[in-house]
Amino acid sequence: MADTKSITFVIAVNNKNVFESNFLASPCLNGSHPHQILVQEGFSSASIAYNDAIDRSTNDLIVFAHQDMIFPEFWLLDLQRALDSLQQTDPEWGVLGCYGVTLDEGRGYIYSGGLGVMGKPTDRPGPVQTLDEIVLILRKSSGLRFDDRLPHFHFYGADICMTAAARGLKSYAITAFCIHNTQQIFILPKEFYESYRYMKCKWKNSLPISTTCVTITRFDFYTYQRRLLELYLRFIRRKETGAVRVKDGRALLAELGDISRGGAELASQNDGCARS
């Protein structure tokens, strides 16, 4: 049974200031704690960085997170409640995350810079096809690993979920509210599309694949649509970025206030209803 008594957190870092003013400032990690934090720097891809961390993890439960994530005080409690729920319904789960998508809708409960609060709290984890890379959670004992051949730092969340599905393991978005203090980029780099082509070829027999950025399809309809939008933004609007990252993520946490308690409070209410 998975639990949150001791977790390994893995963060790929390319900006120490962002890392220190966001992830390391997370209230749930304040003070002394039993968790292992692995800072992965200098790797050519997320998959290589994360597999190296899996090998070095001293704990079974591993949380892979972006450097600009902030985890509120109640995040670990929310995570444990999700794990307890899955212990009853699907103890052999594959991958968990804080936000993901089915072919029809998004599921989870997060705040993202430029987009605001996304999703809504629910009383149990929701199955998804893929998860956003901002937070990915798996068990070392599951044997799941990232694809070392997937280039760059894109689509590794979708890929690990598809890998889990190929083994008969489900992926879930959980209610564990957290903050993604990101800079909103409208025009994606060429590396994104290189990773897209790799994913399309690798999973050609499993299309369509819905991700939080784009849907991978046989005829690339959504990619062409996005490329047209990027051309419009680049040459007509002359605007490549939207919301800018807040300098200190703790300011966002203070601004959002009690919303960070949403998942834990909802779970408590549901527990009360179940006992009454």
For the beta carbon of residue 269, count every other beta carbon within 10 angstroms: 12
Q: Which domain holds residue 221?
A: 8-275
CATH number at residue 169: 3.90.550.10
How far is 215 from 103, CA to CA, in rounded Å?
Answer: 8
Residue 158 falls inside a structural domain:
yes
* Residues 126, 173 contacting (CB under 8 angstroms): yes
Residue 50 falls inside a structural domain:
yes
How far is 122 from 107, CA to CA, in rounded Å?
Answer: 9
Residue 63 falls inside a structural domain:
yes
Please state, rounded to an integer, the average pLDDT across all residues of the chain: 92
Reference 159, options 45, 56, 62; nearest CA is 45
Task: Please say if the pLDDT value at position 250 is more than 80.
Answer: yes
Residue 3 falls inside a structural domain:
no
Residue 109 falls inside a structural domain:
yes
pLDDT average, residue stretch 240-269: 76
Which neighbouring-strand residues pair with 180? 69, 112
Residues 6+ positions from 251 with CB-CB distance below 8 Å: none
How far is 7 from 116, CA to CA, in rounded Å?
Answer: 28
Residue 265: the pLDDT is 61
Lowest-pLDDT range of 51-55, 114-118, 157-161, 208-212 = 114-118
| pLDDT > 70 in the chain, percent | 94
pLDDT, tens digit, 9 for 90 and up, residues 174-214: 999 999 999 888 899 999 999 999 999 999 999 999 999 99
Residue 180 falls inside a structural domain:
yes
Give the chain's domain count.
1
Residue 2 falls inside a structural domain:
no
Residue 62 falls inside a structural domain:
yes
Go through the chain and tell me how many residues it has: 276
